[in-house]
Amino acid sequence: MDIRGINANISRAIIQIAGLDPSQRIGNLQDRELKKIENILKDPQEHGIPGWMLNRQKDRKTGLDNHIVGSDLALVEKFDIDRLKKIKCWRGVRHHLGLKVRGQRTKSTGRGGQTVGVAFKKRQRR
């Protein structure tokens, strides 16, 4: 089962800090072990996880490094995109138009629907 916001690196770090067996299934963990994992996720830097491993570095409101998990992550991403759209920066305009944001090519990829190839107008013969 995947948890949104927890990737392989952070999960290995949490397992190592909590002192758990990496091959053990999460359904077999005891309540105290789950509480230990929750405490590490609430404040990962306090437990020794470096700031570069977190998914929310230098938050705009607080200026702190956070790690956001679950549905909160989707909500924060939506607020970030809405802020970009509101200030009408380049990335915000691209998001608004539904186009590629990070400089990818758009001539042949990223088309919506079932478009295959490019339709040209027929040339008229004289």
Q: Using one digit for the tens of pLDDT, what is the confidence trace for 52-66?
A: 988 888 888 888 888
Q: What is the pLDDT of residue 115?
A: 62
Q: What is the pLDDT of residue 60?
A: 85
Termini Cα distance of the chain: 65
| Helix, strand, or coil (residue 105) | coil
Q: What is the pLDDT of residue 78?
A: 93
* CB contact at 8 A, 101 and 95: yes
pTM summary value: 0.69
- CATH level 3 topology of 1-68: Helicase, Ruva Protein; domain 3 (1.10.8)
Q: How far apart are CA 86 and CA 89, in angstroms?
A: 8
Q: CA angle, 83 as apex, 79 and 85 as ends, to 5°? A: 115
Q: pLDDT grade, residue 22 (50/70/90)?
A: confident
Q: Which amino acid, 42?
A: K
What is the location of CATH 1.10.8.50 in the chain? 1-68
Q: Using one digit for the tens of pLDDT, what is the confidence trace for 46-95?
A: 888 888 988 888 888 888 888 888 888 899 999 999 999 999 999 999 99
Q: What is the pLDDT of residue 58?
A: 87
